[in-house]
Amino acid sequence: SRTQHGEFHRLVQELRLDDDRFQRYFRLDRNQFDSLLGKVGPRISRMDTNYRKAICASQRLAVCLRFLATGDSLHNSLQLSCWISIVACIVADVSRAIWASLVEEAIAADFLHRWNFPNCVGSIDGKHVVIQAPANSGSFFHNYKGTFSIILLAVVDAKYCFRIVDVGGYGRTSDGGILANSPFGHALKDGTLGLPEDAVLTGAEHLGPQPHVFVGDEAFPLRRDLMRPFPGSNLSSRQRIFNYRLSRARLIVENTFGILTSQWRMYRRVIGISPANVEACVKATCVLHNFLRSTTRTRREPMSLSGEGDVAVLQDATRLGSNNSTREAVCGAVPWQPAV
């Protein structure tokens, strides 16, 4: 039977005896696995029928986590005595259940203000998730790198957690285009996102209240509530300082994507399932990332963001807009910064 011969029954019981092996296999420790099972179990449990015994919730969760953790083909990575089509359905169904169970506590949170960048409420960026070319899709998913992909657009907070996630944009669309067509982009444009009220910046009181902003790279449009660096190389000292500080704030989202792809290695492969199911898996890994950040007792941050050892990685912007006054308001340097 599946219970006697399936991968979960044969292997997971053995893995539970070794914390390190269990965590390497599923990317969660035993307590996190059990906690997650308690959250998603009611959504993924199935009833036995007259024809066969249902796969239990714990085994369904194990199947999904193993796929997300490795990205191996379903046949190779999940040696279960059940049809490959059933396993594919399990991965998609459990991924959607993980998103539905964790999204409220993961994303519906107050904006955090822990940046060394005044009035910053999040760092925004996009990532191409490489997929197998969908049938009859033409060039919609074909990106500038010559692969097929969907786009993960995300806003990340100062704790390396995802706060806004939009998945499923066509690979040929730019980050800025994905933003414009996303629910988040519409809310940002309409002023219905619920950003904090404008606030006066210390040292720039003469400029009056300034908006709270997201920070992005040159792929995004410059807006009153979305900032990117000054373009070009012939910049004043104050402009270089601004670009450096914006780079430090943007580094958070790049590091978060790095953690995500290191933890869930399906991102390192061409994902061979339908775009709709890839979307479900991507959203599941984002909330699982937050779940692990909030439940892991000890963790090493990807890099220090304090002091002179910070690394600034940011490309030049290509155009200016209406936000120069806010840029000027945050051009002031911290004591160690004039050397930049």
How many angstroms separate the CA atoms of 126 and 110, rounded?
22
Least confident segment among 24-33, 104-113, 254-263, 326-335:
104-113
Torsion of CA 200, 202, 206, 207, to 10 degrees: -50
91: confidence class by pLDDT, cuts 50, 70, 90: very high
Residue ranges per structural domain of the chain = 2-107, 120-339
Tokens of 135: 């049938």
pLDDT at site 138: 65
With beta carbons less than 8 A apart as the criterion, state whether 252 and 159 touch.
no
Look at residue 141 and tell me whether its pLDDT is greater than 80: no
Choice between 254 and 118, residue whose per-residue pLDDT is larger: 254
> Mean pLDDT throughout 2-8?
50
Residue 337 pLDDT level (bands cut at 50, 70, 90): very low
Whether pLDDT at 280 is above 60:
yes
Q: Write the pLDDT tens digit of every residue in 168-206.
A: 776 666 656 778 878 888 888 888 887 778 888 777 788
Asked whether residue 336 carries a pLDDT value surpassing 50, the answer given is no
| Pairing mode of beta strands 149-156, 120-130 | antiparallel
Residues 6+ apart with CB under 8 A from 258: 302
Phi, psi of 123 (to 5 degrees): -110, 130
Which stretch, 43-52, 92-101, 177-186, 207-216, has highest mean pLDDT?
92-101
Tens-digit pLDDT profile for residues 24-63: 999 999 999 999 999 999 999 998 888 888 888 998 999 8
Mean pLDDT of the chain: 77
Taking CA atoms, 37 is separated from 113, 147, 191, 197, in Å, by 32, 35, 38, 39
Q: Residue 22: is it exposed, middle or buried by C-beta count within 10 angstroms (0-12/13-18/19+)?
A: buried
Neighbours of 333 (CB within 10 A): 16
Q: How confident is the model at residue 159 (pLDDT cuts 50, 70, 90)?
A: confident
Residue 307 predicted with pLDDT over 70: no
Average pLDDT over residues 134-150: 74
**Cα–Cα dist 121/32, whole Å:** 29
pLDDT over 70 percentage in the chain: 73
Q: Between these two residues, 146 and 286, which has the higher pLDDT value?
A: 286
In tens, the pLDDT along 223-268 reads: 888 988 888 888 898 888 888 888 888 889 999 999 999 999 999 9
Of 111-115, 211-215, 218-222, the least confident: 111-115
Which two structure tokens, joined as six digits, stand for 131? 């997929």
Q: What is the mean pLDDT of residues 84-90?
A: 80
Cα dist from 186 to 112, 198, 216, 293, whole Å: 22, 20, 17, 29
